[in-house]
Structure 1
Amino acid sequence: MTFAFSKDTVRKAISAHSALGLVCCALLYLICATGTAIVLYEEWQRFEQLDAPEMSAIDPASVQRGIENVLASEKGKPATTHLYVHLPTEALPRTTITTDTQAVHIDREGEIVVPEENAWAEFLLALHYRLNLPALYGMTLVGLLGAMIVALSVSGIVAHPRIFRDAFRLRARRGDDVATLDWHNRLAVWTLPFALAIALTGAMIGLFYVSGGAVAAAAYGGDSEAALAPVFGGEPEGDAAPAPMPDVAPALAYMEREYPEVDPYYVILHDPRTAGQHVQVIAEHPRRLIFGDYYAFSPSGEFRGTVGLADGTVGQQVAASMYNLHFGNFGGLPVKIAYIVFGLALTVVVATGTFIWFDKRERRGQRSTYLRAAWWGLVAGVPLGLVATLLARFALGNGAPFVAIFWVVCLIAITVPLLQTRRASVPDKRSPEPVPAE
């Protein structure tokens, strides 16, 4: 059976297909650009709030005092279900306590100094992580785009069998189109291991909600916490009856005494001041890709064991390594610099790949004037949007509408070249008609 469509319908369908492909490329470009910027997540937080107290370490008694001060400041508010203490690290030498309603920096003595104000860094992370969409939809979309990068990397290698042999061959003298193609292929080869690692881990992180929900629905009666318990540990049964304040100082002292080879960087109080409360310390293991392991303690500081991310099953250790491998949170500043260089190269590969597509279309006689103009606008608009939001952070404060500013700047950056292209393609009616030769 064949279907007959008018030429106008076919032309519109091709345009819609091209526009959809351009949207996918735009999202890939956005994710690569923001991913490169978010490598400096901790550094952005320090730059964003220069007046926050910094320290290389804090003693356990001061941590406990800080927790008590923060909870005391929340009298009259709903009881917080979780309290998080970020301990000083080399990348972010600050002690920050976060509850359900606030986040504050404390000093070496455990006194509250200033509220945490890192809204721009959080905006940047959300833009990369989920495109500022609700978590389920945004992370799923980003995960699918990560899988798309894997497919593009593999298919690009298969489609260009000489790509490794020509890894250092550039033909810039043969014309701009050829130079663009060569730079695209060369950068794609040089960044291939990085691109595959980033794309695979990004796809796994992004599709976490979908895969976790599917496993929960299939084997755990829809209970997501039960589905994740074999990997990240389970939650003890809660008890909302009032109880005295938990003491994290013995837990931190125990970690220092019994596990001197690890570096605690996070303390979590679950359901503080209830009978069901318990304490977890997350500690980093040097020279390991895992983000750390969970060390469980009673409210009085009695050690209850670990989840086993450091020495558990292969699946647990792989799952615990995804985040650090994706964001470059290992190896210190040299690794971060490498991630930024490779991230910029991957961003250029995505941008030039779209220009190559336009060139191929035009060689087949398909005009891409407006698509090319829109793409140029987006390529410039994303970094301009990030700069505009950062400037707004210091001009308008922590509550600046970052999402609106970013997308408006991107829209303007796309619209301006489109209007310029349209104006250039319309003949000037004020011009005198040419006088025919006699």
Structure 2
Amino acid sequence: MQDSGKPKKSALRVMRSLEAHSLLAIIFGGLIYILAVTGTLSVFNHELQRWEQPNAPEMQSISAEAAERAAYAVFKSEETPTTHLYVTFPRTDLPRTVITTDTQAFFADENGEIVAEESFPWTQFLLDLHYYLHMPQTLGLTVVGALGIMLIALSISGVLAHPRIFRDAFTFRRGAGRLTTVDLHNRLSVWTMPFHFSNALTGSILGVASVLAFVIAAAGFDGETGDVFAPIFGSEPAANAAPANIATITKPIEHIEKTFPDIDPTFFIMHDPGTVGQNSQIVGKHNNRLIFGDYYTYNAAGEYQGNVGISDGTIGQQIIGSVYNVHFGNWGGLPVKLAYLLFGVSLCVIVASGLKIYFTKRREKGDPAPRLEGAWAGIIWGTPTALALTLFVALLDVVPALGLVAIFWLSLATMIAYGSRSGRKATKRQLITANCALLVGIIIAYIGRYQEAVMSFAGLPVTISLAALIVVFLLLKQTSEQTHMEAGPDFAPAE
């Protein structure tokens, strides 16, 4: 006779399936959350680059002669021939001149003198995390693009699942427990839906485009992905590796400044410098346009060869040329960046509250999942803590860039495991405390490393933002402690 105290095999199978389903939701939800957090921070990547090197020379513009002098100096310093030589011109949010090759990058001053090597390891770590989740490039782009598609599907299904969602757009039940979280989730979802939909769509395009290009190139372009993108971004002339004197840089810059005064040059690119096949392009930004710019091409003698057409070509070219700026908020200056910050934080809250609602419903039905709920708390509060930890280590300059990747994922995994054992409430409080301590340590380490440069225009805004973030976390900690006292202690995770 079967023991009635033991659950049936079918019930166990359903229970295990539900746990597996919840675990998958945590994994994919956690990855979307990481992309939301890093994407919000990535909007300010230029400001973060300046903050990481506040001593670098800054200027509003640089003359064509000075840019050429600096580029030639870096080119001559190359031990092995480079296939590209770049000049990054000063811009409003990154007022610096940088000379870059395939292997190195240096700051130049207004006179064209090479001053220091460019290095922003933490900002690059952050961008790589958002672009690829630190996976190999093709795989990372595929996963990130798929997560963007998943976010689009969640946005659409969320609207369809709540027929009154727009009618109740201003309904908010304060102090109503789970219903307060539900209202917050739904209201933020409705108010910010255009942003999240467009951001997920453009992110998906950026992620999937490269993967599709590989497939299309393999099918019909002999594996040459450049040929796939040529109708949009143009193609390079045939290479000729025979040595030659390096091409002029001054003439193209002077030409675009004189002929197209309404265009702001952002990059100068020389392909195959020091060879017979060398040619140059200037990326020119068009004000009051969403496109990132257009390519203006010059031969080795500095003679203008025409533009690619992103600014005045087909509608498809102009749309594709706008995807990057729409996704990262690189248009409209600081007001747009601050709007993206607000929308990005909203998306983080939406993602975090979505699974919180699910776990609360399970608890109310008498079917809690304390380990999974604690693990979710580890993701939500561990992600900013792990980012703060990597920033602190980066300031100490004690590990290589690859070490930051290991520190982030290992520390996040540890915090998730800790959350699954300690419960959601304790995990939240303790990780908030750890975050505050790390942010204080970051500010102290930054002051100790850069001293008077902390007060510069490059250093001060981000430092003040970090101090404000400490206050925000302290307020969150206080609110969490009050809620904990009112609700009682954390329920014990099941053994």
- The equivalent of 1:13 in structure 2 is 17
Is the contact between residue 371 and residue 421 of structure 2 (CA under 8 Å) also seen in structure 1?
no
Which one-letter code corresponds to 1:341 in the other structure?
Answer: L
1:31, CA displacement in angstroms? 0.4
Q: Distance in 1 between matches of 2:361 and 2:493?
A: 25
Task: Trace 1:179-198 onto structure 2 (pairs within 5 A).
Answer: 179-198=180-199
Go from structure 1 to structure 2 and tell me whether the alpha carbon gap of 1:361 and 1:281 turns closer, same or farther (over 3 Å shift).
Answer: same
- The equivalent of 1:120 in structure 2 is 122
Q: Distance in 2 between matches of 1:373 and 1:350?
A: 16
- The equivalent of 1:203 in structure 2 is 204
1:387, CA displacement in angstroms? 1.1
Q: Distance in 2 between matches of 1:62 and 1:165?
A: 60
- The equivalent of 2:32 in structure 1 is 28
Go from structure 1 to structure 2 and tell me whether the alpha carbon gap of 1:260 and 1:390 turns closer, same or farther (over 3 Å shift).
Answer: same
**Residue 222 of structure 1 pairs with residue 223 of structure 2:** yes
Q: Distance in 2 between matches of 1:216 and 1:387?
A: 41
Which one-letter code corresponds to 1:84 in the other structure?
Answer: Y
Structure 2 spans left out of the alignment, 5+ residues: 1-7, 425-489
Q: Distance in 2 between matches of 1:234 and 1:397?
A: 42
Residues 330-339 or 4-13, more deviating: 4-13
1:208, CA displacement in angstroms? 1.4
SS across alignment from 1:93: coil
Q: Distance in 1 between matches of 2:422 and 2:186?
A: 31
Is the contact between residue 89 and residue 265 of structure 2 (CA under 8 Å) also seen in structure 1?
yes
SS across alignment from 1:152: helix
Task: Trace 1:244-393 onto structure 2 (pairs within 5 A).
Answer: 244-393=245-394
Is the contact between residue 120 and residue 398 of structure 1 (CA under 8 Å) also seen in structure 2?
no
Which one-letter code corresponds to 2:349 in the other structure?
Answer: V
Q: Distance in 2 between matches of 1:396 and 1:419?
A: 33
Q: Distance in 2 between matches of 1:352 and 1:15?
A: 19
Go from structure 1 to structure 2 and tell me whether the alpha carbon gap of 1:417 and 1:109 turns closer, same or farther (over 3 Å shift).
Answer: same
Which one-letter code corresponds to 2:362 in the other structure?
Answer: R
Which one-letter code corresponds to 2:220 in the other structure?
Answer: A
Is the contact between residue 118 and residue 398 of structure 1 (CA under 8 Å) also seen in structure 2?
no
SS across alignment from 2:166: coil
What TM-score do you get using the length of structure 2 for normalisation?
A: 0.82
1:386, CA displacement in angstroms? 1.2
Q: Distance in 1 between matches of 2:115 and 2:318?
A: 38
CA-to-partner distance for each residue in 1:349-383, whole Å, 9 max, x for gaps? 00000111212333444321111101111111111
Is the contact between residue 97 and residue 106 of structure 1 (CA under 8 Å) also seen in structure 2?
yes
What TM-score do you get using the length of structure 1 for normalisation?
A: 0.93
- The equivalent of 2:163 in structure 1 is 161
- The equivalent of 1:86 in structure 2 is 88
Which one-letter code corresponds to 2:66 in the other structure?
Answer: S
Task: Give the CA RMSD over aligned residues.
Answer: 1.9
Which one-letter code corresponds to 2:60 in the other structure?
Answer: S
Question: Percent sequence identity over matched residues?
Answer: 45
CA-to-partner distance for each residue in 1:411-437, whole Å, 9 max, x for gaps? 222122222249973899xxxxxxxxx
| Aligned counterpart for 1:144 among listed residues 143, 146, 149 | 146
- The equivalent of 2:492 in structure 1 is 425
1:389, CA displacement in angstroms? 1.2
| Aligned counterpart for 1:47 among listed residues 40, 48, 51 | 51
Q: Distance in 1 between matches of 2:35 and 2:143?
A: 11
Go from structure 1 to structure 2 and tell me whether the alpha carbon gap of 1:369 and 1:426 turns closer, same or farther (over 3 Å shift).
Answer: closer
Is the contact between residue 248 and residue 300 of structure 1 (CA under 8 Å) also seen in structure 2?
no
Is the contact between residue 56 and residue 89 of structure 1 (CA under 8 Å) also seen in structure 2?
yes
Which one-letter code corresponds to 2:212 in the other structure?
Answer: S
SS across alignment from 1:113: strand
SS across alignment from 1:391: helix
- The equivalent of 1:432 in structure 2 is none
SS across alignment from 1:283: strand
- The equivalent of 2:440 in structure 1 is none
Go from structure 1 to structure 2 and tell me whether the alpha carbon gap of 1:397 and 1:88 turns closer, same or farther (over 3 Å shift).
Answer: farther
| Aligned counterpart for 1:69 among listed residues 69, 73, 79 | 73
Go from structure 1 to structure 2 and tell me whether the alpha carbon gap of 1:117 and 1:183 turns closer, same or farther (over 3 Å shift).
Answer: same
Is the contact between residue 117 and residue 398 of structure 1 (CA under 8 Å) also seen in structure 2?
no
- The equivalent of 1:132 in structure 2 is 134
Q: Distance in 2 between matches of 1:62 and 1:426?
A: 65
- The equivalent of 2:462 in structure 1 is none
Task: Trace 1:102-117 onto structure 2 (pairs within 5 A).
Answer: 102-117=104-119
- The equivalent of 1:433 in structure 2 is none
Aligned length: 422
CA-to-partner distance for each residue in 1:324-364, whole Å, 9 max, x for gaps? 00000000000000000000001100000011121233344
1:5, CA displacement in angstroms? 6.7
1:39, CA displacement in angstroms? 0.6
Is the contact between residue 370 and residue 494 of structure 2 (CA under 8 Å) also seen in structure 1?
no
Is the contact between residue 36 and residue 348 of structure 2 (CA under 8 Å) also seen in structure 1?
yes
Residues 408-417 or 153-162, more deviating: 408-417
CA-to-partner distance for each residue in 1:61-82, whole Å, 9 max, x for gaps? 01110111101212xx221011
Which one-letter code corresponds to 1:231 in the other structure?
Answer: I
Structure 1 spans left out of the alignment, 5+ residues: 429-438
SS across alignment from 1:263: strand
Is the contact between residue 145 and residue 207 of structure 2 (CA under 8 Å) also seen in structure 1?
yes
Q: Distance in 2 between matches of 1:89 and 1:301?
A: 24
SS across alignment from 2:164: coil
1:8, CA displacement in angstroms? 3.6
Q: Distance in 2 between matches of 1:347 and 1:381?
A: 13
Go from structure 1 to structure 2 and tell me whether the alpha carbon gap of 1:20 and 1:396 turns closer, same or farther (over 3 Å shift).
Answer: same
Go from structure 1 to structure 2 and tell me whether the alpha carbon gap of 1:427 and 1:101 turns closer, same or farther (over 3 Å shift).
Answer: closer
Q: Distance in 1 between matches of 2:131 and 2:25?
A: 21
Q: Distance in 2 between matches of 1:353 and 1:52?
A: 43
| Aligned counterpart for 1:407 among listed residues 389, 406, 409 | 409
1:48, CA displacement in angstroms? 0.4
Q: Distance in 1 between matches of 2:86 and 2:382?
A: 36
CA-to-partner distance for each residue in 1:288-343, whole Å, 9 max, x for gaps? 00000000001121001110000100110011000000000000000000000000
- The equivalent of 2:455 in structure 1 is none
